[in-house]
Chain A
Amino acid sequence: MSRTPATDPAAPPRTTPHEGGPGRARADDVALRVDRLVKRYAGTAVVDGLSLVARRGAVTAVLGPNGAGKTTTVECCEGLRSPDGGTVEVLGLDPLADAAALRPRVGVMLQDGGLPTGVRALEMLEHVARMYADPRDVGELTERLGLGSFARTTVRRLSGGQRQRLALAVAVVGRPELAFLDEPSAGMDPQSRRAVWDLVAELRSDGVGVVLTTHLMDEAEALADDVVIVDRGKVIAQGSVRELVTDGGADGREHEQTLRLEAPAGLPADLLPGLELRERAPGQYVTKGVVDPGTLVALTQALAARDVLASRVSVGRRTLEDVFLDLTGRNLR
C-alpha cells in the first residue's frame, strides 16, 4: 500500500473551498490541468497561454465576457479541438490521444446544445444513456430537472431553457467523473436555473469535478469553489470567490462595504467626505470603506447640489463583477 492516508479515495469529497486555491491542488485531486494553452483561429490567438486547474469534487467556474476564449478552452479539454500550444490533461490523460478512454468518464454540455431537432426530448436522453454500461436512471433525472412536462416534445419545439436542461441531463446521464458545462443556465427562467444549480451542487458532493463557463456573476458566486477569470484568452485572476472579492484575503477588507453608483460621467473623486470615489468606467463609480446611512444622505445631497440624478446606487460587499471591472475597466457583458 503505497498510498498515504491523505490520499485515501474513501475520504469524503470536499465541498467547501479550500485554502490554497486551485493552483495548489494535490495531484490526486486534480481533474483537469490546462497548462499554457494556446489556440489560434486564422492566426489570431483566441486562447493565449491560459493555465488553470480544476479539482475533483469541486466546481470551477471559468468566468469571462463573450469572446474571452472560454468555450475554445473547454472544447480543447473535450477533445473537440486540438491545441496549437501548451498541454491539457483530463483525469491525467490526453483528451485527443486518450479520447476513447476519456469519453465514458467525461460529460459534456455544449453551448449550442448539440441536440438533434427532430427527436423527442426523452428519446434523446434515453439514446445517449444507451451509450453507457450503467447510466443514471433516466426517470429520476427527468424528474430532477423537470423534463417530464416536455418529454414527448421534439427538440425543435423546446424553449431555450428546456433545451439547456435536456442538454445538462445528457451531459450527466453517464455518471461522469468530470463534467464540462458550457454556459449551463443561459436562457433559463429562475426556476430552471435553481434546478440546474441544485444538480451541479449534488454532482460536486458526489465527488464529480465540474467545470462550467459562464458570464453570469451570480452563477459563479453561487456555485463555484474556484473561479478563473478569463479575458482575451488569458487568466487575469483566479482563486475562491472569497479570495477574489477580498483582494486575495487582505486582512479586514471583507468587513468593508462597497458602494456602487451609476451617474453621469465626470464626478469628482472627493464627492463624499472621507471616501474616495473611483470612476472605473465612464459613469460607473465605486468606493470602498465603511458605508453608513449618513454616507447615503451625503451622497444624495452632493448629487442634488450638482443637479445630477443617480441611475443606480447600491451598497454591498464586493462582487466578482467588481473584480472583473477593477481588472479590465470593462463590464462583463
Chain B
Amino acid sequence: MSSHAATAPPDAGAPHAGPAPTRRRIAAQAAFETRAILRNGEQILVTVLLPLFLLVGLDRVHAVELDTSGATRIDFLTPGVLAVAVMSTAFTSQAIATAFDRRNGVLRLMATTPLGRGGLLAGKVLGVLAVEVVQAVVLVVAALVLGWHPDAAGIPLAVVSALLGTAAFTALALLVAGTLRAEGVLALANLLLVVLIVAGGVLVPPAHLAGGWSHVAALLPSGALGDAMRGALLDGSVPVGPVLVLLAWTVVLGWATRRWFRWQ
C-alpha cells in the first residue's frame, strides 16, 4: 500500500517537508542577490555612483570634446551612460559576486538545496535586472533634471536593447567568474569595464573612434550596446547591426560558459 509507505514518520524533526514552489525559491534567491549587491559599498560605487558621475561629469564639465552630431550633450550622453550601467551590473558586479561565491563554496551549497543550479542562475539574472531597475531610476531622474529629452518612441526599443546587452554581459560575467580565480576576476572585471568605457564604443560611438579601431569597437558588445541605446533614444530606431552583434555575443559567451564554467 503505497499511501501508507509515503506517510511521513511521526517525529517532529524527521519528516522531509519537500521544496518550496519553484517561483518562491527563485524569487527568494533574486531578492537575496539584489540585497547583497545593493548593500555592498564597492558594488554601489561601480553600479550606481560611477555611471552617475560619468553622466553629470561629462555633461557639466566640457573638458572632454564630444561630437554629438547636433544633439544636446545630455541627449547624446544618457543612452551611453545607461549602457555603462548595464555593463557595470551585468558584467563587473555579477562577475565579482559570482567569483567570490564560487570560491567560498556558495554555488555548491546552494546547488544542494532545493534551489538547484538552474534556480541559482535564474535568481542571479533576476537580481541583475532588479539592480538595473534601481540604476535606471537614478540615472533617468538625474538625466531628466539635466534636461534630457529622450525619443519617447524609442523607450521600448531601449529596454529591449538593454535586455540583450544584459544577456551578453551576464554570460561574459559567468564565463570569467566560472573559470578564473576570484582575485583575478576582481581585477579583470574592473579593468575591462574601464577599458570598454574609454575605448569600447559605449560612451563615444564606435564610428567616432580612430581609424581601424572603429570597426573593432562596433563588433564589441560594448560598442553594439552603446549604438543600440543611442539609436533607440536619439532616433527612435535601432539599427540591425548592433542587435545581431549582441545576439552573436550572447550565443557564443553562453555556449562558452556552459562549456567551461566550473562550479568549484
Contacts and interface: CB of A to CB of B under 8 A. Distances in A.
B134 interface: no
A268 to B, nearest CB: 51
B5 A3 contact: yes
Interface string B17-45: 11111001100110010001001100000
Contacts of B1: 1-3
B163 interface: no
B111 interface: yes
Interface string B95-115: 000001100111011111111
Contacts of A132: 17-20, 114
A116 B120 CA distance: 13
Interface residues of A, number: 47
A3 B263 CA distance: 42
Interface stretch (A171-179, A256-264, A287-295, A316-324): A171-179
A127 B123 CA distance: 13
Given A103-B113, A174-B113, A118 B39 contact: yes
Contacts of A226: none
A151 to B, nearest CB: 16
B17 A134 contact: yes
Contacts of B108: 80, 110, 114
B19 A112 contact: no
Interface stretch (B6-14, B166-174, B200-208): B6-14
A128 B106 CA distance: 11
A105 interface: yes
B10 to A, nearest CB: 7
A78 interface: yes
A131 B19 contact: yes
Contacts of A133: 17-21
Nearest to A108: B112
Interface in A96-131: 99-100, 103-106, 108, 110, 112-119, 127-128, 130-131
A208 B25 CA distance: 24
Interface string A66-83: 000000000000111000
Contacts of A112: 104-105
A119 B36 contact: yes
B168 to A, nearest CB: 26
Main SS of the interface on chain A? Answer: loop
A80 B25 contact: no
A116 B18 contact: no
Nearest to B17: A134
A9 interface: yes
A176 B36 contact: no
Contacts of A115: 104-106, 109
Nearest to B110: A114
Contacts of A206: 9, 11-14
Contacts of A79: 111-112
A131 B106 contact: no
A251 B171 CA distance: 65
Given A114-B104, A132-B20, A203-B13, A1 B4 contact: yes
A114 B29 CA distance: 15
B116 interface: yes
Interface in A1-51: 1-3, 9-10, 13
A13 B225 CA distance: 62
A2 B114 CA distance: 32
A326 interface: no
Contacts of A116: 36, 100-101, 104, 106
A178 B109 CA distance: 15
Contacts of A170: 109
B68 interface: no
Given A80-B264, A99-B116, A128-B113, A114 B106 contact: yes
A130 B20 contact: yes
Nearest to A105: B16
19 contacts: A9-B9, A10-B9, A79-B111, A80-B263, A103-B19, A110-B105, A110-B109, A112-B104, A114-B106, A127-B32, A132-B19, A132-B114, A167-B109, A172-B13, A177-B14, A206-B13, A206-B14, A207-B14, A208-B13
Interface of B: 1, 4-5, 7, 9-21, 24-25, 28-29, 32, 36, 39-40, 100-101, 104-106, 108-116, 263-264
Given A13-B11, A80-B263, A103-B19, 16 more contacts: A1-B4, A2-B1, A79-B112, A80-B112, A104-B16, A104-B18, A108-B113, A115-B106, A130-B24, A131-B25, A132-B20, A133-B20, A170-B109, A174-B114, A175-B13, A177-B14
| Minimum-distance CB pairs A-B, first 8 | A114-B109, A134-B17, A114-B105, A206-B14, A108-B112, A206-B13, A130-B28, A206-B11
